[in-house]
Amino acid sequence: MSQIAAVPAVPSRPTGTPPGPAPGGKAVTLQFNDNTLLPLLLGDHDRHLVRIEQALGVRLSCRGNRVAIAGEPTRVDTAQATLEGLWRRLERGESVGRPEVEAAIRLADTEIDPRLPLSDLPAIRTRRGAVGPRSSGQAAYIDALAAAEMVFAVGPAGTGKTYLAVAQAVAMLLEGKVDRIVLSRPAVEAGERLGFLPGDMKEKVDPYLRPLYDALHDMMPGEQVIRRMGTGEIEVAPLAFMRGRTLAHAYVILDEAQNTTAVQMKMFLTRMGEGTRMVITGDLSQVDLPSGVTSGLRDALETLEGVAGIRVVRFGTRDVVRHPLVARIVDAYDQRAAAVGETRRERAAAAR
User: Could you list the pLDDT tens digit for every one of the 352 residues in the chain?
Assistant: 443 334 444 333 333 445 655 666 788 999 988 888 999 999 888 899 998 998 888 999 888 889 999 998 888 888 888 898 889 888 888 888 887 888 788 777 644 444 444 444 556 766 666 677 777 888 889 989 999 999 999 999 888 899 899 989 998 998 899 999 999 988 755 444 545 555 555 566 666 677 788 888 888 888 888 899 999 999 988 888 888 889 999 999 999 999 999 999 999 999 999 999 999 999 998 898 888 899 999 999 999 998 999 999 999 887 887 666 766 776 787 777 777 777 777 777 777 6
311, 148 contact by CB (below 8 A):
yes
What amino acid occupies position 120?
Answer: D
pTM check: above 0.75? no
Q: Tell me: the pLDDT tens digits for 171-185?
A: 899 889 999 999 998
- Pairing label, strands 250-254, 310-314: unpaired
State the Cα–Cα distance between residues 330 and 342, nearest whole angstrom: 18
**What is the residue-wise DSSP string for 107-144?**
HH-TTT-TT--GGG---EEETTEEE--SSHHHHHHHHH
Count CB atoms within 10 A of the CB of residue 309. 9
Q: Which residues contact 185 (CB under 8 A, 6 or more apart)?
A: 208, 209, 212, 238, 239, 254, 255, 256
196, 242 contact by CB (below 8 A):
no
Name the DSSP class of 231: H
CA-to-CA separations, 33 to 13, 78, 290, in angstroms, rounded: 26, 21, 61
What amino acid occupies position 321?
Answer: V
E strands of 5-76, at which residues?
A: 5-7, 26-31, 59-63, 66-71
Q: Which residues contact 115 (CB under 8 A, 6 or more apart)?
A: 136
